[in-house]
Structure 1
């Protein structure tokens, strides 16, 4: 076992030389890191910015930490220089030199004085601030690493937010201004259209967001869970993303208004045509209803509504909106009118179908009667008295006015059965025509 000193075994010359080489490499690495931190763009921005909120508070602490870092580094440099001077006294260091070097390299012989420890928040065990602290070189390096990591984290986080958000906010604000001008050109204005109100709100939010991001970037930083990388985390873009989506929705709405402006006349012409067709169809249904009531007996014929006057009035309003370039009002009105006009034409067609159903039933019975007459003729039974009698009875009913459909269908069925008996066939039993008449 070798000789011992105040801090343990005394280092030999080789151990001293290796320790000095390692400390020299550490010194160079620390100096490079400190200079990089000093020149970091984020640090320079923090020094020149008018900070507020959490960033102002944390940067004040970080500035004190960076000052203390340089103080520690100066103490580290001085200790290393002193150790190198002692080693350089002699090629073969004496025992006294080796003892002094061992104490310097391994002992708590590095003093950080002049109240710098107090500025970093160092407090003694009794709770009073200390005017100086004693460190080993190893502990001093650990302490510098801790302060450097915390300071670099803050600088990198602030720089990341400043690099990510203000430029994006400016681009979105420029797009917002273009959208505002476009909105104004089509009558989308605040207090007159919801999209105009949305544009005002987005403008206020983006203005406030940019001010806060510039003065308090750390308020918009989300640290990464479990990350040890400098500045591990990401900028908080939730507010920006929400307003970007809102602006996109407004832009789509304005695009829809622009589309209305471009093809408003075409759509109005189509609407007039739809309503005109509906009106003509209803007029046809009303005329057909009179014919049915005159020609068909014992039938319940549905009533036919009047022309779509309410839609015609709204169509006139839409034309007024177009004349006065009120596109933001015309857009929703056209969409509503287009759907309602389609519905109106469908309703008119259904009404015509319902009204003319008895005439369709009569036509179907006439066709069936004539078809059986032709079949009877092909079988050489055209002169059969019974068939002639039943045919004439059915024909009188079907070609008389008003026509009793129920009785006429019964007569047609009797003619069919009589013909079938002559053919040696059997006509399948059919229910009375009451259900079918109900459907007609």
Structure 2
């Protein structure tokens, strides 16, 4: 019996040392978590009370056995009562007034040692389940909360370094304080199907990460402001050159190609140059807002340069198409000669017609393409006739 009592005592101490149990101890809780806390505390109090009474009964049996090396009939009867009879008397429960009588004497429930162990086991398992379930939710939430608070501290340090305020950071900080109060005061309010629901904390962390990236960009801008501005200026020079090239190619196409369908020419360099001229080092506290403007300007310059180059490529494509048709015409002429049709008057006429279309400005690409196709078909027709 002593070994059993010691094992039970060790299990109870281990339960109290559990992280989930420790979180409940002394915590100011609300809502569903407060209900669980009260239930666990009530069951734990009952468990310890029952264990104490159980221990007293076992101790009484041990003491009786120790005092009587050769117990008599009376001692054996008492030992039997202590070990197998209802020797564990529970505290008297309060009887409601409406159930009392004038002469009634309240009495507590009596249990055998085995029944006491069974009841302690049930109480222990109920407490352990509640504590484990709460710990699974609470530990996850506290861990995620620590990550979000680390993100907040990082953003706060950057903001302090840059000076000024950030409305989005202030909003997220207030939201984090509200969520943290729930995590610490009623974590079960953030549980879904027995699992921690971290969606609210995750959304705050994502927002803070975005703010932190923006502030880090502002810090980089502050530390390399002159280089960034020079970089944008250089990009605008490349843009001016690309737009000038697009205009030159367009002018050439208008001369050399008949009725071309041309895209609008990009004219972004002047507007972006005005935006760059308006950018200056801000007063204290304005770097994180200026960073967005500078980043937007960099993206706009890069996009405008890409559009200008694409436009040039599209416009130049008409000239490239003419050169392609010219090359194919000469290749077909060589093929006709190789097939023995160099003196074919009809082929020569079709060739000259296509050549005139391709070497005359402005060139009608549609007609030239049709004429070239006719020349190709005429050559193929003669080649098939020679094979018969």
* Structure 1 position 176 matched with structure 2 position 152: yes
For residues 284-433 of structure 1, what are the structure 2 equivalents within 5 Å?
284-290=249-255, 292=256, 300-302=258-260, 307-310=265-268, 312-318=270-276, 320-321=278-279, 326-354=290-318, 428-429=380-381
Shift of 1:141: 1.2
Give, in angstroms, the shift of residue 337 of structure 1.
4.4
Which residues of 2 match residues 20-169 of structure 1 at below 5 A? 23-37=1-15, 46-88=24-66, 90-115=68-93, 131-154=107-130, 165-166=141-142, 169=145
Shift of 1:59: 2.3
List gaps (5 residues or longer) in structure 2: 100-105, 383-388
Write the distance in 2 (CA, Å) between the matches of 1:354 and 1:188. Answer: 55
Q: Secondary structure at the match of 1:309?
A: coil
Give deviations 1:176-231, integer Å, cap 9, x for gaps. Answer: 2322454687899656xxxxx3x44432332223222323345456787xxxxxxx
2:237 corresponding residue in structure 1: 272
Q: Which moved more, 1:211-220 or 1:74-83?
A: 211-220
| Post-superposition CA distance 1:246-271 (Å, at most 9, x none) | 44455456566777786564355234
The aligned counterpart of 1:207 is: 177
How many aligned residue pairs are there? 357
CA drift at 1:76: 1.6
The CA deviation at 1:274 is 3.4
State the distance in 2 between where 1:158 and 1:336 align. Answer: 52
**Aligned equivalents of 2:214, 2:264: Cα separation in 1:** 36
Aligned 8 A contact 1:275 1:344 in 2? no
Distance change (3 Å), C-alpha of 1:242 and 1:89: same
Cα distance in 2 for partners of 1:310, 1:25 equals: 88
1:81 to 1:346, Cα distance in 2 relative to 1, 3 A: closer
Q: What's the offset of the Cα at 1:243?
A: 3.4
Question: What are the equivalent positions in structure 2 for 1:175-254 lying under 5 Å apart?
Answer: 175-182=151-158, 190=166, 197=168, 199-219=169-189, 237-252=198-213
Distance 1:131 1:275, change over 3 A: farther
TM-score by length of 2: 0.67
Please state how far the C-alpha of 1:328 moved relative to its aligned partner.
Answer: 0.8
Superimposed CA distance per residue, residues 306-335 of structure 1 (whole angstroms, 9 cap, x where no aligned partner)? 642255324532553476662213324533
1:60 counterpart SS class: helix
Separation (CA, whole Å) in 1 of partners of 2:220 and 2:174: 28
Q: Tell me how far apart the structure 2 counterparts of residues 65 and 104 of structure 1 sit (CA, whole Å).
A: 25
Give the deviation of 1:343 after TM superposition: 2.6
Question: CA RMSD for the aligned pairs?
Answer: 5.2
Q: What is the TM-score when the length of structure 1 is the normalising length?
A: 0.60
Taking structure 1 as reference, are residues 353 and 186 closer, same or farther at Cα in structure 2, changes over 3 Å only? Answer: farther
Say if 2:87 and 2:112, in contact at 8 Å, map to a contact too: yes
Structure 1, unaligned runs of 5 or more = 1-22, 124-129, 192-196, 225-233, 294-299, 415-425, 431-440
Alpha-carbon distance between aligned partners in 2 of 1:40 and 1:202, rounded to the nearest angstrom: 34
Q: Residue 145 of structure 1: CA displacement?
A: 2.2
Q: Which has the higher contact order (CA 8 A, sep 6+)?
A: 2
Tell me, in whole angstroms, the C-alpha distance in 1 between the residues paired with 2:66 and 2:208.
72
CA deviation string 1:49-93 (max 9, x = no partner): 322222322323333333322322232223223323443454333
Task: Report the CA distance between 1:146 and its aligned residue.
Answer: 2.3
> Residues 73, 118 of structure 1: CA spacing in aligned structure 2 closer, same or farther, 3 A cutoff?
farther
Q: Which has the larger radius of gyration?
A: 1
Secondary structure at the counterpart of residue 114 of structure 1: coil
Change (3 A) 1:355 1:35: closer
SS of the aligned residue for 2:310 comes to helix
Is the CA contact 1:282–1:305 (under 8 Å) kept in the aligned structure 2?
A: no
